[in-house]
């Protein structure tokens, strides 16, 4: 009797562990996944080594929004993390360190720290979308992305507009290091 009870208890533990591992796999594959920021292209917002949670279901239900921080599959078979600047149909231009979308200036408060530190030139060089991707507007089904560290970021200015279906998800939450724990904008 005792042996049978012990077998049942062992079987219950095995089932519980299998269910837990199965749920963890489903959550990681379909809902949320961790990512580690690799490089300095998103400084000062994100730093090399920051660990974040990527929301994979957000764009299944909706579309990227301007200034979302997204993770996507880049042409180099690597995942990049950048900020959405231009949406499909947008005309994007930079003049005198000011972002213009559809001829309207946009404030980018997340760049203020870097702009204040610049002693020479501008943070973001002047450009038009046509100069960078050969089109006047962001193509349908694509977004134009840029890193916050504009002088040291390989982004849509170099790799072109990013297909929305290459976006893994958005990220807004740092969970490590603990000193940076919390939401980012």
Residue 105 has pLDDT above 70, yes or no: yes
* Residue 87 resides in a domain: yes
User: For this structure, is 153 an active site residue?
Assistant: no
Q: What does the pLDDT look like over 57-88, one tens digit per residue?
A: 777 667 899 999 999 888 878 889 999 999 99
> Which domain covers residue 174, as residue numbers?
37-183
106: enclosing H helix or E strand: strand 104-106
**Whole-angstrom distance, CA of residue 169 vs CA of residue 176:** 19
Question: How many domains is the chain partitioned into structurally?
Answer: 1
Span between the terminal Cα atoms of the chain, in Å: 60
pTM comes to 0.80
Residue 152 has pLDDT above 80, yes or no: yes
CATH number of 42's domain? 2.10.109.10
* Residue 20 resides in a domain: no
**Whole-angstrom distance, CA of residue 33 vs CA of residue 121:** 39
* Residue 8 resides in a domain: no
> How many residues can be counted in the chain?
185
Among 50-59, 75-84, 102-111, the least confident range: 50-59
**Whole-angstrom distance, CA of residue 82 vs CA of residue 142:** 14
Q: What is the pLDDT at residue 99?
A: 94
* Residue 51 resides in a domain: yes
Q: What does the pLDDT look like over 87-103, one tens digit per residue?
A: 999 999 999 999 999 99
Residues 41, 153, 156, 170: which is the catalytic one? 41
Residues 56, 82, 132, 170: which is the catalytic one? 82
């Amino acid at each position: 009797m005792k042996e049978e009870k012990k077998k049942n208890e062992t079987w219950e533990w095995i089932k519980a562990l299998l269910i837990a591992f199965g749920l963890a796999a489903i959550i990681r594959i379909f809902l949320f996944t961790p990512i580690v920021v690799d490089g300095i292209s998103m400084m000062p917002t994100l730093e090399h080594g920051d660990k974040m949670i990527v929301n994979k279901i957000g764009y299944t239900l909706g579309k990227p929004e301007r200034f979302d921080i997204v993770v996507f599959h880049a042409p180099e078979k690597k995942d990049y993390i950048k900020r959405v600047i231009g949406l499909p149909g947008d005309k994007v231009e930079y003049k005198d360190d000011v972002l213009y979308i559809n001829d309207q200036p946009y404030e980018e408060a997340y760049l203020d720290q870097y702009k204040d530190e610049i002693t020479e030139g501008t943070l973001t060089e002047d450009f038009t979308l046509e100069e960078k991707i050969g089109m006047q507007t962001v193509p349908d089904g694509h977004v134009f992305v840029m890193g916050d560290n504009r002088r040291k970021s390989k982004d849509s200015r170099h790799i072109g507009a990013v297909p929305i279906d290459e976006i893994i998800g958005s990220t807004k939450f740092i969970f490590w290091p603990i000193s940076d724990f919390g939401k980012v904008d």
